Structure 1
Amino acid sequence: MVAEAEVVCQQSVGVLDVKYFPNKGSNIHEIGDSDSISPSSFDRVRVSESVSAELLTSKEDVKTAEIISEALESAVLQFVPCIRSGSFADIGPRRYMEDEHIRIDDLSSHLGSQYNFPKPSAFYGVFDGHGGPEAAAYIRKNVIKFFFEDASFPQISEVDNVFLQELENSLRKAFLLADSALADDCSVNTSSGTTALTALIFGRLLMVANAGDCRAVLSRKGEAIDMSQDHRPIYPLERRRVEELGGYVEDGYLNGVLSVTRALGDWDMKLPRGTPSPLIAEPEFHQVVLTEDDEFLIIGCDGIWDVMSSQHAVSLVRKGLRRHDDPEKCARDLVMEALRLNTFDNLTVIIVCLSSLDNGEAESSPPPQRKLRCCSLSAEALCSLRSLLEGSANN
């Protein structure tokens, strides 16, 4: 986030990954009754924002929430996401690695029996640090505690309007708790901060919570659908909010220092707790009901999106999955593409596959062509061959 001019060699960075390999014989817990859903119900993505009433009209918000809730309540789950993921992180041209990430493909097994979630359930997060690695590393280390223990994560009976609201409230509380914890922990420098983007999957529900400029992009039949909004000072609604709270934007930076308007930590830039501040930790939410058209989700830090569009990334990953069906390789390819395009930041990518590769769409290798060998004959050999053929014909 903070501008840095030093350029050094690349270095790969390892992270903790919790993988999920679904049992083909296991039962799938379905949500809803036997009513059917019109296909158009699935094409809506809901955005929720509580910071400013100007960001969404209440009527539109309530109407869209009802549409999603009705879809979830009445769904016959003919499609159930088949989740597998891969990730790759690289220091890029920066001097220090400040990114962290987490991926859990089977959240129920990871958390234990005290949580009752529909299957599949999964959790992913990318934390892009700035001002040192302390804040991002702290959030990564304590993310399960903040999100599923301290924030009173709702117990699910059915995915309805009540659960959706409780889920948003819980995630919002988790972001704010994490932000406050960074202020209280003396091991974290007050100038260190991190953006945070998390994605939760419960059955067919995908909910993304974002504070900062990491981005989640859904591929729907190859079309890129942004599941988050980059919180940068040049974004008009964010700029207006910042200026209304006494901040300013200079050369695209918040107060001339930070390239994002939302982040956890950075307490040397925030006003005392309880006081409205231009820099906030409040997340913005996007959610969608997944269908068989939804192929995969890309979650990446801004080092990816600084040099390529959402559609470019989706096309690259889709081509890779058709070729080798390996999300880990696709994540690496996406990072390598960003490096080829001369990104100047750390790089972290998670690819979450939502369905099995359609064999009908897989790119098949063309059958090997038989190679023909050519040779030349001397005049003497041609005469001998002609005599042999004429002798065979006479016989």
Structure 2
Amino acid sequence: MEGNNGSSSENSRRPPIPLSASTTTTSCRQCFSIDSVPVNCKKTLVRHQSLVKTKTLDISVKPQLGAENHDADFIPIIRSGAWADIGFRSSMEDVYICADNFVSDYGLKNAIDGPSSFYGVFDGHGGKHAADFASYHLPRFIAEDEDFPMEVERVVASAFLQTDSAFAKACSLDAALASGTTALAALVVGRFLVVANAGDCRAVLCRRGNAIDMSNDHKPMCSKERKRIEASGGYIYDGYLNGLLNVARALGDWHMEGLKGNGSDGGPLSAEPELMTRQLTEEDEFLIIGCDGIWDVFRSQNAVDFARRRLQEHNDPVMCSKDLVDEALKRKSGDNLAVIVVCFQSDPPRNLVAPRPRVHRSISAEGLRELQGFLDDLAK
């Protein structure tokens, strides 16, 4: 990958773990965007006692879109790849993480029937600290919850809020960490795909060549987000939340006055994710997860069509991710770029055979005259 990621000693240092309690050590395959190379690490997570039980909020969970009965036995075969590039920015603030085997990588004790995978994309702003912090802590809060995977939606939503609260504590101890990040996490648990999003990253599922959005872009101008923002005391100015941010949901940003609150309303900038769940079938081919730099130059269906052609050529999700990033650079995306491609089958996508259109035959004016003449001759 070409380009200088602009990492410095300050940007590369990990945010401190600010909390004190018993620790749990797990191993993971954590992928940072610095070199687009997976970095094996062993870290510890300390959970504050106040975060063990989190207030349950009204989480937006899209109803499961039912699968056909004949797909009930379908078990996805997980393969993934990722790529990132600094793009035309002076520093790199995107982070991604891939864990094809979530149970093994994070030391989960609960057995899961079928695959268990975790993927995350974090698009930092005002610095990279929040993105680094969230990429490290969010999957661990999920893994440590005793209700995972039985109550996966509630656990994932709670993990977003716990990560946000933990980062607030970290920033109170070290003001240099002040920053924010959007976050999108996708989990494959058995036959189910669960996507949680807070911000403007996007996940798109390819189902037999058709693009299915698995997340909504949380922009301040969206009617749903605007109503929520105004109800919590915020406002939209020139398309920006309180005139400061062009996203309506994010983790961090505790240093920005008027965006986050500890009360019941939580402030206009929400860390609460929106969730979508779908049962995977044999028609589901792959998932694209990307930061907004990708979607600035790709529409969802356009990205699926592009990725599908590349997978048919080489069937390599890593190369496919790089192809998407390279194409976004050619299209002059002005942001950092990070994308993950998760394939659900071992074979490349099949060629789609378009139904042959019905042939509509017509007769020319000359033919009509000849036919009329023939009929006239028969009548004589």
Given that residues 17 and 104 in structure 1 are in contact (C-alpha distance below 8 angstroms), is that contact kept between their aligned partners in structure 2?
Answer: no
Aligned partners of 2:326 and 2:154: how far apart in 1?
Answer: 37
Letter in 2 for 1:213: D
Q: 2:263 aligns with which of 262, 274, 284?
A: 274
* 1:342 corresponds to which of 332, 348, 356: 332
1:104 lines up with 2:99 in the alignment: yes
> Which of residues 200, 203, 207 is equivalent to 2:190?
203
Q: CA deviation at 1:188?
A: 5.8
SS in 2 for 1:88: strand
Deviation of the 1:244 alpha carbon: 1.7
Secondary structure of the 1:237 match is helix
- How large is the RMSD of aligned CA atoms in angstroms? 2.8
Distance 1:119 1:211, change over 3 A: same
Task: Report the counterpart of residue 154 of structure 1 in structure 2.
Answer: 147
Gaps of 5+ in 1: 1-7, 20-48, 157-162, 364-395
Aligned to 2:153: 168
Aligned residues of 2:97 and 2:120 also touching (Cα < 8 A): yes
User: Could you tell me whether the CA contact under 8 Å between 1:172 and 1:282 is conserved in 2?
Assistant: yes
Quick one: which of 29, 34, 37 aligns to 1:13?
34
* More deviation, 139-148/280-289: 139-148
* 1:92–1:344 Cα contact (<8 Å) kept: yes
Q: How does 1:1-395 map to 2 (within 5 A)?
A: 11=5, 13-15=34-36, 17=38, 51=58, 64=63, 68=66, 77-112=72-107, 114-149=109-144, 152-156=145-149, 163=150, 166-185=151-170, 186-187=173-174, 189=176, 191-269=178-256, 270-276=259-265, 277-357=267-347, 361=351
Alpha-carbon offset, residue 109 of structure 1: 1.9
* Cα separation, 2, equivalents of 1:142 and 1:298: 23
Cα contact 1:15–1:100 (8 A) shared by 2: no
Whether contact under 8 Å (1:116, 1:155) holds in the other structure is no
1:268 positional shift:
2.1
Aligned to 2:377: none
Change (3 A) 1:101 1:142: same
The structure with the larger Rg is: 1
The question of whether the paired residues in 1 share the 8 Å contact of 2:106 and 2:140 is answered with no
C-alpha distance in 2, partners of 1:219/1:232?
24
| Equivalent AA in structure 2 for residue 246 of structure 1 | G
For residues 227-262 of structure 1, give each alpha carbon's deviation from its aligned partner in whole angstroms, at most 9, with x where no partner exists: 000001111100111112221111211111101110
- Residue 389 of structure 1 corresponds to which residue in structure 2? none
Task: Report the 3-state secondary structure (helix = DSSP H, G, I; strand = E; otherwise coil) of the residue aligned with 1:128.
Answer: strand
Alpha-carbon separation, structure 2, partners of 1:315 and 1:209: 24
1:112 Cα shift? 3.2
Question: In structure 2, what is the equivalent of residue 377 of structure 1?
Answer: none
Measured in 1, the distance between the counterparts of 2:136 and 2:73 equals: 37
Q: Which has the higher strand share?
A: 2
Counterparts in 2 of 1:267 and 1:77: CA distance versus 1, 3 Å:
same
Q: Distance in 1 between matches of 2:260 and 2:240?
A: 18
What does the per-residue CA deviation read over 1:143-177, in whole Å, with 9 as the maximum and x for residues that have no partner? 3322212xx24255xxxxxx3xx222111111111
1:274 CA displacement: 2.4
Question: For 2:127, what is the secondary structure of its paired residue?
Answer: coil
Distance in 1, Cα, partners of 2:350 & 2:141: 43
* Counterparts in 2 of 1:18 and 1:198: CA distance versus 1, 3 Å: farther
When normalised by structure 2's length, the TM-score is 0.74
Given residue 106 of structure 1, which amino acid in structure 2 is its aligned partner? N
- Structure 2 unpaired stretches of 5+: 6-32, 41-55, 354-380
Aligned residue for 1:334, secondary structure, equals helix
Asked if structure 2 preserves the Cα contact closer than 8 Å seen for 1:196 and 1:210, the reply is: yes
In percent, how many aligned pairs have the same letter? 49
Q: Specify the code of the residue in structure 1 equivalent to 2:191.
A: R
* Cα contact 1:253–1:259 (8 A) shared by 2: yes
Change (3 A) 1:227 1:104: same
Provide TM-score, normalisation by structure 1. Answer: 0.71
Shift of the 75–122 alpha-carbon distance from structure 1 to 2, 3 Å rule, reads farther
1-structure distance, mates of 2:89, 2:194:
31
Distance in 2 of aligned mates of 1:261 and 1:359: 36
Give the partner amino acid of 1:183.
Answer: A
Q: After TM superposition, give the deviation of residue 218 of structure 1 in Å.
A: 0.1
The one-letter amino acid of 1:309's match is R
SS of 1:118 mapped into structure 2: coil
Distance 1:249 1:275 in 2: 21
- Counterpart-to-counterpart distance in 1, 2:35 and 2:315: 22
